[in-house]
Amino acid sequence: MSATAAPTVDPEVRRVRRRRRWHRLSTVLIVAGALVLADAAATVLWMEPVTALQTSIRQHGLRNDLAKLDHRGPTPLEARALRGVTDSDRRIAILARSLQEHTAPGDAIARLRIPRLGADVVVVKGSDPADLRKGPGTFDGTPLPGQHGTTAIAGHRTTYLAPFRHIDDLHPNDRITVEMPYATFTYRVQRTRIVSPQTVKVLRSVGYDRLILSACHPLFSAAQRIVVVARLTSVTPLGAAVAGQGSEVEASPLSSTAA
């Protein structure tokens, strides 16, 4: 039995099919190139969109965690430590130390608001890369607000929601608030500095409580660090820190000492 001969395809039909395949391939390449350019443009003009989406989802979860922390109330250990303590500053210090000791890296611990930048983000504990993918994070070894000293918070400028993208737009006297479960701390910007990554003296304690915001500088580079220095101006006790009153407590007289 002889094999059936394959049907002959007209050369013009083959050419049309080839053109269609090349057209589909070129369309895919053009779309892919446009997406790459769009991603690059968004990063330059705003922030890197893929990691921004990832961090936005994480921030939503962190807000829920922070709300639970705000409404948790003192633990039995904290309640014992607070018993008989009527001074709000001391109560705040006890609760700050407890939060520092009983939270893990990456946990939600505070809410940072910077009106000048329109920023309202959850701060996590720690400043390792994994922590900063969730949002701004506190530097290990620096105290939380309420423990006295220099509190330091790091954040990204182009990736992972870019919370500190426009940190260089802050002006002297601009307000920054850090809302902890036990108190709200209000700071006023003093100045901005550009330092090397090895400059750690900006984290040292001075004669008053202050806040440091730090990010890479310039944009798209880690060659230097931009550091915003802000001074504590007032403290509002919250929750278990309130000892029979809810009034705002003015910060202690401030020294002129500065880094």
Looking up residue 118, the CATH number of its domain turns out to be: 2.40.260.10
Per-residue model confidence as pLDDT tens digits over 185-222: 999 999 999 999 888 888 998 999 999 999 998 887 87
Q: pTM for the full model?
A: 0.75
Q: Is residue 255 part of a domain?
A: no
pLDDT value, residue 216: 93
Q: Residue 68 pLDDT > 50, yes or no?
A: yes
pLDDT value, residue 13: 65
Confidence of residue 232 (pLDDT cuts 50, 70, 90): very high
**Rounded-to-integer distance, Cα 127 and Cα 215, Å:** 11
Q: Is residue 19 part of a domain?
A: no
Q: Which two tokens stand for residue 68?
A: 């639970």
Mean pLDDT across the chain: 83
Confidence of residue 70 (pLDDT cuts 50, 70, 90): confident
| Residue range(s) defining the domain that contains residue 240 | 46-250
3-state secondary structure of 90: helix
Q: What is the count of structural domains for the chain?
A: 1
| Segment 65-86 mean pLDDT | 91
Per-residue model confidence as pLDDT tens digits over 85-140: 999 999 999 999 999 999 999 999 999 999 999 999 999 999 999 999 999 999 99
Q: Is residue 11 part of a domain?
A: no
Q: Is residue 139 part of a domain?
A: yes
DSSP class per residue in 32-58: HHHHHHHHHHHHHHT--HHHHHHHHHH
pLDDT value, residue 6: 53
Q: Is residue 25 part of a domain?
A: no
pLDDT value, residue 21: 67
Per-residue model confidence as pLDDT tens digits over 1-60: 455 555 665 676 667 677 766 666 555 544 444 333 333 334 343 457 888 888 889 999
- DSSP E strand stretches across the chain: 108-114, 119-125, 137-138, 150-154, 175-179, 183-195, 210-217, 224-237, 249-250
Q: Is residue 229 part of a domain?
A: yes
Q: Is residue 115 part of a domain?
A: yes
Q: Is residue 107 part of a domain?
A: yes
